[in-house]
Every structure is written in structure tokens, then in C-alpha cells.
Amino acid sequence: MAYEANVLELIGNGSFGQVYKAKGLQTGELFAIKVTPFRSRDITPKQEVEIMQRIYHNNLMSPLAIYYWKQKLYICMDLCCPGALSNLYRKLGPFEENEIAFVAKEVLQGLQYLNDFGYMHRDIKSDNIIINEDGEVKITDFGLTGRIEDREDQRKVSQAQEHGKGYSHNCDIWSLGITMIELAEARLPLQFDPPETVYTFWSEQKASPQLNGNKEWSNSFQSFVQSALTMDQSMRPTAKELLKHKFVRNQHSTLSPLKERVKRLQHSNYNVERSTAIYSLSTSLVSFHGFKNTLYIRR
């Protein structure tokens, strides 16, 4: 991991902070830097750092290094291009079933790992599932991740708001089911603002979202989505159980069908839309030697 880097461009901007593309001076390595405002009373960034330091799995985005400087966290991570699943379907259209099955299995493997360590992600969505140039799938953004036993925690849960008694890590399975429909149809089943109200809507309808009937889907895919979107969370399968489902069990991590989609995106001359409000860091040299608090470096 380089300790000095040129920050090349802003590639992401949201309520959490900014993400920059950077290049290490010593190695020439490209990586991403997530810059998040942080004060001692801020729970979410602190918890995200603690979780990222503890987990290491091929389907979870892990940090290269984490630094704290002048009330900001700098989380250095592998640079994954083309990025989020949402980028892939918005530019190239709906995913094929074999691509969806591959994504589903990889995400389930990451979720099972989190569950085994006592965590639930709570923000599974297409924007938080990243694809790299090799077609590998990684879950990112652990800002809402919590302990499974903390079921009374009233923070938002993306696409699966199941607060209070009975709320469990299986909320991630519901969100995965919604994401599978989104990839298949290149859109969410319904648009909600805020998005976490989607579960409330469907529970009031006493029905689960369905795949669009205009296309012939395999029985195994329909069965998988139906299982993931089981309304009664106590009856909803866990990540470990869904990994045994026919739709995903024959997928192999070393044979990513997403490689072809990534190549198509690269050949389409797709450029990430840059923000006009470039943060001052984007034109500066970052020297991590001067950072007083090195929280983590991956060895």
C-alpha cells in the first residue's frame, strides 16, 4: 500500500462523504479513497471502521488502510471498475439469468460470512454490490451493519424495514430478492422514497413483489425470488439455506459470467459522470506519513 498518492478524480459523492480515485506514487497502484467526516460522537463511521477491521472475505470489500486526520476518516480500498451493479444494468440493460444467479451466490456467501460472525448488513442494494474488472462480486458500505442481537436498533434498513420484535438478519435476504428483480428488469419493482418503505408497502398489500410476466423465467429463478421474498421473516430462508437452492448451487466463483458484461461496458467508452463541485483533495498530493492516527493497514 503506497503512503503517498495523487488523487485523480472524484468518482462518488453522497451523504456519507466522497470517494476518490487515487494513484500511489511509489507503486503506481490505483485505489479508491473514501473520505468521511468523523467526530468522536459519530457512531456510524466508527462502527463501519470497526467492522471493516474484523472481516475478511472475498465477497466483502475490505480496506487496504484506514487513517484519521483533521476530523476525517480516509478509508483506502481496492478500486473496482466498472463499479456498482446499478451502473451495469443502466448502461447495458437487464441481466441474464446466469449473471443473476452468479451475483446471488456471491452475495449470499458474503452474507453467510457476516452472519457467522454475528452481523447483518442491513443495506443490501444494487448500489452497494460492486463488480471489479475480473467480474468478481463484492458487498460494500458497512455503515448500517449491526450485530444480529441488536434487533431493537431503530436505524434505517434498506428495502426491508422490519423494526421491532422479530426483526432479524433475514432482512438482508428480502433486500437480495428485491435486487434480483431489479437486475432482471433493470428497474426496481416499485420506486419508493425513502427506499426502505418498500417492505412496509408490500406487507400492507399482503403480497410479495413478482417478476414481470412478460418474459419467460426459469422455474428455479422464480422459486429463488419467491423464497427470498417470503413475507413472514421467521419462515424466510437464511443465507446458508438459500445457498443450497438449485438456482445458485452450481455457480462457480472462478467462472464469472460477468466478465463479458464488464468488457462490453469498457468498449462502450463509458465514462463516470464527474461532479462539478470537486473537493480540494482532488488536485492535491496526499501524504499518509503525516497522519497522526493510523487505524489500520492490511498486511
pLDDT at 33 over 60: yes
How does strand 83-84 pair with strand 63-69?
Answer: unpaired
By residue range, what is the domain housing residue 70? 4-80+273-290
Co-location of 88 and 170 in the same domain: yes
In whole angstroms, give the CA distance from residue 44 to residue 64. Answer: 20
Residue 97 shares a structural domain with residue 244:
yes
**Residue 137, Cβ density class (10 Å: 0-12 exposed, 13-18 middle, ≥19 buried):** buried
- Please say whether the beta carbons of 44 and 153 come within 8 A: no
Provide the pLDDT confidence category of residue 271 given band limits of 50, 70 and 90: very low
User: CA angle at residue 76 from 73 to 81, to 5 degrees?
Assistant: 130
Q: Is 64:143 a contact under the CB 8 Å cutoff?
A: no
- The cell numbers describing 128, all together, are 452497494
Residues 106 and 217 reside in one and the same domain: yes
Q: How confident is the model at residue 295 (pLDDT cuts 50, 70, 90)?
A: low
Residue 215 marked in a binding site: no
Determine, yes or no, domain membership for 295.
no
d(CA 122, CA 142): 8
Q: Spell out where 123-213 has E strands.
A: 129-131, 137-139, 146-147
Q: Kindly state the percentage of the chain with pLDDT values over 90.
A: 35
The 10s digit of each residue's pLDDT in 211-221 is: 887 788 999 99
Cell numbers describing residue 166: 422479530
Q: 46 and 193 share a domain?
A: no
**Residues 92 and 59 occupy one common structural domain:** no
State the CATH number of the domain containing residue 190: 1.10.510.10
140 and 254 both lie in a single domain: yes
8 Å CB contact between 1 and 79 = no
Query: How far, rounded to the nearest angstrom, does the alpha carbon of residue 282 sit from its chain's CA centroid?
Result: 24
**The pLDDT of residue 13 is above 80:** no
- Of 230, 262, 256, 264, nearest to 106 by C-alpha is 256
Residue 297 counted as domain residue: no
For residues 176 and 221, membership in a common domain is answered with yes
> Does the annotation mark 172 as catalytic?
no
Q: Are residues 126 and 256 both part of a single domain?
A: yes
Task: Name the catalytic one among 42, 116, 123, 232.
Answer: 123
* The pLDDT value given to residue 185: 93
Give the lowest-confidence range in 32-36, 68-72, 95-99, 231-235.
Answer: 68-72
Alpha-carbon distance 90 to 87, whole Å? 5
Residue 220: in which H helix or E strand, if any?
A: helix 219-228
Instruction: Read off the DSSP letter of residue 60.
Output: B
In the sheet that holds 30-37, the strands lie side by side as: 285-287, 4-14, 17-24, 30-37, 72-78, 63-69, 293-297
110, 257: one domain:
yes
Q: What confidence score (pLDDT) does residue 47 get?
A: 77
Round to whole Å and give the CA distance between 27 and 181.
41
Q: Which residues in 163-212 belong to E strands, given as ranges?
A: none
Q: What is the pLDDT of residue 64?
A: 87
Write out the three cell numbers for 122: 442491513
pLDDT at 161: 47
Question: Cis peptide leading into 194, omega within 30 of 0?
Answer: yes
> What Rg value do the Cα atoms of the chain yield, rounded?
19
Whether residue 136 sits in one domain with residue 76: no
CA distance 208 to 32: 37
More confident residue, 75 or 1: 75
Mean pLDDT value of segment 15-34: 84
pLDDT tier for residue 145 given thresholds of 50, 70 and 90 = confident
Rounded-to-integer distance, Cα 34 and Cα 21, Å: 9
**pLDDT digit string (tens) for 151-194?**
555 455 555 445 444 457 888 999 999 999 999 999 887 655 55
Q: Which three cell numbers stand for residue 16?
A: 456519507
Banded pLDDT at 244 (limits 50, 70, 90): very high
CATH code: domain of residue 52: 3.30.200.20
The count of structural domains within the chain is: 2
Using CA atoms, how far apart are residues 218 and 230, in angstroms rounded to an integer? 19
Q: What is the pLDDT of residues 63-117, one digit of tens each?
A: 888 888 888 888 889 888 878 899 899 999 999 999 999 999 999 999 999 999 9
Q: What is the pTM of this model?
A: 0.82
Give the confidence band of 2 by pLDDT, cuts at 50, 70, 90. Answer: very low
